[in-house]
A and B are shown apart, each in its own frame.
Chain A
């Protein structure tokens, strides 16, 4: 039961990172849109699905709360200020979808809110991952690091890295969903973003070696872990050629593969810890009565159903966008 919910939690986080990742990425790229038409195309590329995408964040938080309440309580309270700022950013970004079409004079404000909100949300999520990798100050299951315990150069570096990664996903989505201006922009940016992501990974790796992080020892001890980075590298190569051949859907899936590889690397190097290296999966797990209550209803029926109708919705909105015909 614990393993089941660990896997589901992992999947929910991965799905969130990929799905909201691409729409946050489009949000950041939104700032580079040449004109209103391109902006409309970009928005239309994500507006029917962003809401569902963001739900996976709530999914992850709910599974954490229900199945691993100790981690939920420790992590969320330790990251108090960054999370509050991330929530404010997500609010701005969420209302911008509705508000920018309803307003003329203040449209620039909502545009800034949309792009800025996406940027801040992505940046803070990256910082959180960085802080986790570096290790939060936790003693006897209690956080003792203070309000800015998460803040470090390494965390900030990871924040930048995740933004770049989200942009990569977003650009991949744009080449698939849009045409002309914004597709052009995406094709132009993709190789640069890829290089930037690779550069970040190298810098992060070197920085981690320099910081002598515990996670690094695990990597050096178990060379099998390199399987995932190699898959990621292969995806990079495919992405590069896809952009040169101007294939429309391949770049997005390459981005997904890169993220999945990075995520798997992290997950495998942390396991069995959930908050590295202080709280294990077993420490954090809810009593069996809670886990099985969630399993028999949610795990067995609702989650598969959710995946199915998420796919249905993506199927409904497949193909190129036509913002003029679609917007209400």
Chain B
């Protein structure tokens, strides 16, 4: 593959992955929240949970659809653009991604249909089971993806065959690698926090607009409360991810810190403009000793600089450096909002603080931004390796692909994704704006448990009392 084609392939993969990750980040948390709401609604019988469920189900539907179609693209790109990677790591990555498909993808895809269309066709317990299975499916999916990605970050449990093929020797080591068990919770919590902030922001928005006040209050309280508990946990796992990076991927760690030369004790760069050409930082603001403390929990540890590595083994510095700082910034901002908001809830002053409602409303993208920048930090920081220390990105690409081919596909995806993202965002916005409306036809049919199941499958000639389809448009 020529250099431009390689670069285009990398852009294409980064682009499709970034687009895709937005939706799982949202739907993993949302699916769990929907299952929780459905369980609450069954247990308490309070209509608010049912209204919220129906409201968020519509949004879940759109987001899930976008997640599925963009995920299909990912599962092909390994073979189309990275065929050398597929050929050589297929014996390891193939089964892992296979397990994702078998255990997770199929589960969520099958029961998603029941969730959206099956409310009146199945008993309530079965509907709840379907909700739980969809939530389990999305979580399992995230788990296998993280196992696979963690193997690429820190390959273990394999031997290299003569023809360059990675042959698995220890699946237990691959799946129960400690790296997996800090990175998966980190991703999983990111999804939950992202969803929590979307829910809270929607609640704040409707409170500001004076619409659906009681539902909006419930959303705001649930979202902020959940985030207040989860974000500290997320910071802990973020720290553990940092530990693994420090021990196992020193070049990535040095890039994130913009540390060019070995330091003892090391200082922590808060902000700077890294200048790779001269191996130094411009406009640096740093705190002495803190770098050692963060990296090794000691004040005097020696920390490795990028110059230790040959230039061909160094990751680009700018992207991991800034992406990491944006991620941490978003996290701290969300923590402040969640804790202060929860304090306001407890003291009963939340709704009088309109500026805080505004702030919460504006915070809805923070989770997405943090997830994306976190992903950038991990993936760009891994360069120039696809399989860390084993297989270079340049050797992983399809050898005979030419730049016109990759450019064509990149343009196709850019256009298609831009179009569907635009409309997806518009339709999700419209649904959010409409709020948790009570659908009369929907409610009466669904809240009447005596309605025989067979009737719902009856003649399409009989019009529904109030066409739900018209209301839902």
A294 near B61 with CB under 8 A, answer no
A289 near B430 with CB under 8 A, answer no
**Of B73, B80, B93, B399, which contacts A91 at CB under 8 A?**
B73
Given the complex of chains A and B, what is the CA–CA distance between A102 and B426 in angstroms? 10
Closest chain A CB from B130 CB (angstroms): 9
**Of B94, B171, B402, which contacts A62 at CB under 8 A?**
B94
A59 near B102 with CB under 8 A, answer yes
A84: interface (CB < 8 Å): yes
**Of B75, B80, B161, which contacts A80 at CB under 8 A?**
B80
B102 near A77 with CB under 8 A, answer no
Given the complex of chains A and B, what is the CA–CA distance between A92 and B66 in angstroms? 10
B86 near A321 with CB under 8 A, answer no
A48 near B116 with CB under 8 A, answer yes
B92: interface (CB < 8 Å): yes
CB nearest neighbor in A for B113: A48
B45: interface (CB < 8 Å): no
B156: interface (CB < 8 Å): no
Instruction: Among B62, B79, B402, find the residue whose CB has the most chain A CB atoms closer than 10 A.
Output: B79
A310: interface (CB < 8 Å): yes
**Of B83, B84, B98, B408, which contacts A63 at CB under 8 A?**
B98
B348: interface (CB < 8 Å): no
What 1/0 mask marks residues of chain B from 396 to 436 whose CB sits below 8 Å from any chain A CB? Answer: 00111110110011001100110010011001001100000
B109 near A51 with CB under 8 A, answer yes
A325 near B120 with CB under 8 A, answer yes
- Stretch in A25-33, A93-101, A155-163, A228-236 with 4+ CB within 8 Å of B: A93-101
Given the complex of chains A and B, what is the CA–CA distance between A12 and B462 in angstroms? 38
A317 near B121 with CB under 8 A, answer yes
**Of B92, B106, B457, which contacts A59 at CB under 8 A?**
B106
A144 near B464 with CB under 8 A, answer no
B105 near A80 with CB under 8 A, answer no
Contacts of A40 in B (CB 8 A): 469
Closest chain B CB from A117 CB (angstroms): 10
CB nearest neighbor in A for B16: A87
CB nearest neighbor in A for B417: A91
A306: interface (CB < 8 Å): yes
Contacts of B95 in A (CB 8 A): 66, 286, 290, 293-294, 298
What 1/0 mask marks residues of chain A from 71 to 92 whose CB sits below 8 Å from any chain B CB? Answer: 0111111011101110110111
**Of A91, A178, A293, A306, which contacts B420 at CB under 8 A?**
A91
What 1/0 mask marks residues of chain A from 288 to 319 whose CB sits below 8 Å from any chain B CB? Answer: 01100110011000110010011001001111
Given the known interface contacts A66-B98, A102-B430, the answer about A178 and B412 at a Cβ–Cβ threshold of 8 Å is: no
B464 near A95 with CB under 8 A, answer no
Instruction: Among B68, B101, B398, B431, find the residue whose CB has the most chain A CB atoms closer than 10 A.
Output: B101
A83 near B76 with CB under 8 A, answer yes
Given the complex of chains A and B, what is the CA–CA distance between A250 and B436 in angstroms? 44
**Of A103, A178, A313, which contacts B110 at CB under 8 A?**
A313
B362: interface (CB < 8 Å): no
A87 near B73 with CB under 8 A, answer yes
A326 near B87 with CB under 8 A, answer no
CB under 8 Å from chain A, chain B span 45-95: 57-58, 61-62, 65-66, 68-70, 72-73, 75-76, 78-81, 83-84, 86-95
A77 near B400 with CB under 8 A, answer yes
Given the known interface contacts A83-B80, A92-B416, the answer about A313 and B400 at a Cβ–Cβ threshold of 8 Å is: no
What 1/0 mask marks residues of chain A from 197 to 225 whose CB sits below 8 Å from any chain B CB? Answer: 00000000000000000000000000000
A88 near B423 with CB under 8 A, answer no
B79 near A62 with CB under 8 A, answer no
Given the complex of chains A and B, what is the CA–CA distance between A310 and B70 in angstroms? 22
A249: interface (CB < 8 Å): no
B473 near A101 with CB under 8 A, answer yes
Residue count of chain A within 8 Å CB distance of chain B:
83
CB nearest neighbor in B for A183: B460
A318 near B461 with CB under 8 A, answer no
B412 near A88 with CB under 8 A, answer yes
Number of A-B contacts defined by CB within 8 Å: 287
Instruction: Among A57, A313, A320, find the residue whose CB has the most chain B CB atoms closer than 10 A.
Output: A313
A97 near B65 with CB under 8 A, answer yes
B65 near A313 with CB under 8 A, answer no
B72 near A75 with CB under 8 A, answer no
Contacts of B416 in A (CB 8 A): 88, 91-92
Provide the main secondary structure of the chain A interface.
helix
B427 near A99 with CB under 8 A, answer yes
Given the complex of chains A and B, what is the CA–CA distance between A95 and B63 in angstroms? 10
B269: interface (CB < 8 Å): no
Given the known interface contacts A99-B423, A289-B168, A316-B114, the answer about A322 and B458 at a Cβ–Cβ threshold of 8 Å is: yes
Given the complex of chains A and B, what is the CA–CA distance between A52 and B444 in angstroms? 30
**Of A51, A286, A317, which contacts B90 at CB under 8 A?**
A286
Given the complex of chains A and B, what is the CA–CA distance between A75 and B80 in angstroms? 8
Given the known interface contacts A74-B83, A91-B416, A94-B69, the answer about A52 and B109 at a Cβ–Cβ threshold of 8 Å is: yes
**Of A66, A77, A321, which contacts B97 at CB under 8 A?**
A66
Closest chain B CB from A7 CB (angstroms): 16
B265: interface (CB < 8 Å): no
Contacts of A326 in B (CB 8 A): 117, 120, 456
Closest chain A CB from B149 CB (angstroms): 15
B75 near A69 with CB under 8 A, answer no
B226: interface (CB < 8 Å): no
A290 near B79 with CB under 8 A, answer no
Closest chain A CB from B436 CB (angstroms): 14
Given the complex of chains A and B, what is the CA–CA distance between A66 and B98 in angstroms? 6
Contacts of A297 in B (CB 8 A): 99
Closest chain A CB from B30 CB (angstroms): 15
Given the known interface contacts A48-B114, A101-B472, A286-B91, the answer about A84 and B65 at a Cβ–Cβ threshold of 8 Å is: no
Given the known interface contacts A77-B79, A88-B412, A324-B468, the answer about A294 and B400 at a Cβ–Cβ threshold of 8 Å is: no
B250: interface (CB < 8 Å): no
B107: interface (CB < 8 Å): yes
Given the complex of chains A and B, what is the CA–CA distance between A48 and B66 in angstroms? 16
Given the complex of chains A and B, what is the CA–CA distance between A324 and B353 in angstroms? 43
CB nearest neighbor in B for A313: B110
What 20 new A-B contacts, CB under 8 Å, besides A57-B72, A83-B80, A327-B468? A51-B65, A55-B105, A61-B79, A69-B90, A72-B87, A79-B80, A84-B408, A84-B412, A94-B69, A102-B427, A180-B460, A287-B168, A289-B167, A290-B94, A302-B103, A310-B106, A320-B459, A324-B464, A325-B456, A328-B468
Name 17 A/B residue pairs within 8 A (Cβ), A-sorted: A51-B68, A59-B106, A63-B98, A65-B93, A69-B94, A74-B87, A76-B86, A77-B80, A87-B72, A87-B76, A287-B161, A289-B91, A293-B171, A313-B110, A323-B469, A324-B463, A327-B469
Sorted nearest first, the 8 A-B pairs with minimum C-beta distance are A69-B90, A76-B79, A66-B94, A48-B113, A73-B83, A65-B94, A77-B83, A66-B98
- Residue positions of B touching A, CB distance < 8 A: 57-58, 61-62, 65-66, 68-70, 72-73, 75-76, 78-81, 83-84, 86-95, 97-103, 105-107, 109-114, 116-118, 120-122, 161, 165, 167-169, 171, 398-402, 404-405, 408-409, 412-413, 416-417, 420, 423-424, 427, 430-431, 445, 456-464, 467-469, 472-473
